[in-house]
Amino acid sequence: MFDQKTIRRRRAVLGVFVGLSVALLTAYFGESGGGVLHALQRGTQEALAPIETGASRALKPVRDLFGWFGDSIDAKKDNDKLRREVESLRSELAQAQTAKHDNRQLRGLVGLRREASFPRGTDPVGARVIARSPTVWYTSVKIDKGRADGIRIHQPVIAAGGLAGKVTRVTGGTAEVTLITDSQSAVSAQVMPNGANGIVKPEVGNPNDLLLDFVEKGMRVRKGTTVVTSGFSSDRVRSIFPRGIPIGRVTKVDLDEVELYQRVHLKPFADVRRLDFVQVLTRRPPTQQNASTGQVVAP
């Protein structure tokens, strides 16, 4: 097909170019950065730079067009990836926030029980809120502890901060807690430190406002003072709430000249809208327990 001359020429050309390439490689590695070949490279780069720049600018739209396609594909991929990442992070964030929230409530519960005025010997049983009243009246919640855990009707329930309500229904494993914001709720209370007595009632629909009613006019109640359960007890009736459980802080005092009693507004310490953990006080404090025999339960 090819004569010997052509074959020889072809092989010779290949040999020459391969030899030149190897020689270039050897020389390039052998010389310093300021050698001839390096200088030639720098010169070529400088010479080609304007052409490359011009070509780059002239063909920028083409590059941008392809880049747009590439970016769109990459963006779609990135979008999917980031979406998955967001979902994962959102889940982690939700878990972290839940843990933080739970932690704050549990700390609040522990802190409340450490207060000097808090009644001792109440055998609190911790419970998790498993259901809430679906209405906007903040009437009741259901907890995951019941009769089997020592929960009984009329036992007081505290949450982080202060009094939350009382147990009104019990099953084997759950209990219903009627909150202090329920319209039927009434708690005998005392303003500290002056000792003015009254009854705490809800302002229905507003879980941030309770009313301390029946406070005698002669006892001046000041804004910012604390209201606690009075643990009222007499020969015939006694309060179901032991003395000393914080209820709220006085926010406003209505001094009506016509009315016999003052109307004191207070903000409850327990946030009934965000109850997740509560404690049921399953025993009355020893000093109050003795007085309970044969008595009628009162708020």
Partner 1 sequence: MILGPGAFLRVGLLLLVAVILQLSVVGQIGVLGSYADLTPLAVAAVAFYGGSIAGSAAGFAAGLLLDLATGATMGASSLVLTAVGYGVGRFREVRDPSHGLMPIAVGAFATAGWVTAYAAVSFMLDVGATVSPLVIRDAAVTVMLGALLALPVFILSRKLLAPALAFDPRELRRRRGAPSEPGPLGLRGLEV
Q: Which residues make up the interface to partner 1 (CB under 8 A)? A: 1-2, 9-10, 13-14, 17-18, 20-29, 37, 40-42, 44-45, 48, 51-53, 55-56, 59, 62-63, 66-67, 70, 73
Please, which residue, 76 or 154, has the CB nearer to partner 1?
76
Q: What is the closest distance, in whole angstroms, from the C-beta atom of residue 13 to partner 1 in the complex? A: 5
Contact 226, 118 (CB under 8 A): no
Q: What is the closest distance, in whole angstroms, from the C-beta atom of residue 23 to partner 1 in the complex? A: 7
Please, which residue, 55 or 136, has the CB nearer to partner 1?
55
Please, which residue, 70 or 121, has the CB nearer to partner 1?
70
β-strand partners of 178: 140, 166
Q: What is the closest distance, in whole angstroms, from the C-beta atom of residue 69 to partner 1 in the complex? A: 8
Please, which residue, 66 or 95, has the CB nearer to partner 1?
66
Q: What is the closest distance, in whole angstroms, from the C-beta atom of residue 88 to partner 1 in the complex? A: 24
Q: What is the closest distance, in whole angstroms, from the C-beta atom of residue 77 to partner 1 in the complex? A: 10
The phi, psi pair for 254, rounded to 5°, reads -90, 120
The sign of the torsion formed by the CA atoms of 84, 87, 93, 99 equals negative
**Residues 6 or more apart in contact with residue 195 via CB below 8 angstroms:** 219
| Cα 37 to the center of its chain, rounded Å | 67
Q: Which residue bears the tokens 């009434």?
A: 186
**Residues 6 or more apart in contact with residue 275 via CB below 8 angstroms:** 105, 129, 132, 141, 159, 164
Please, which residue, 71 or 256, has the CB nearer to partner 1?
71
Q: For the residues of 68-126, what is the DSSP string, one character each?
A: HHHHHHHHHHHHHHHHHHHHHHHHHHHHHHHHHHHHHHHHHHHHHHHSTTSPSS--EEE
Please, which residue, 15 or 150, has the CB nearer to partner 1?
15
Q: What is the closest distance, in whole angstroms, from the C-beta atom of residue 68 to partner 1 in the complex? A: 10
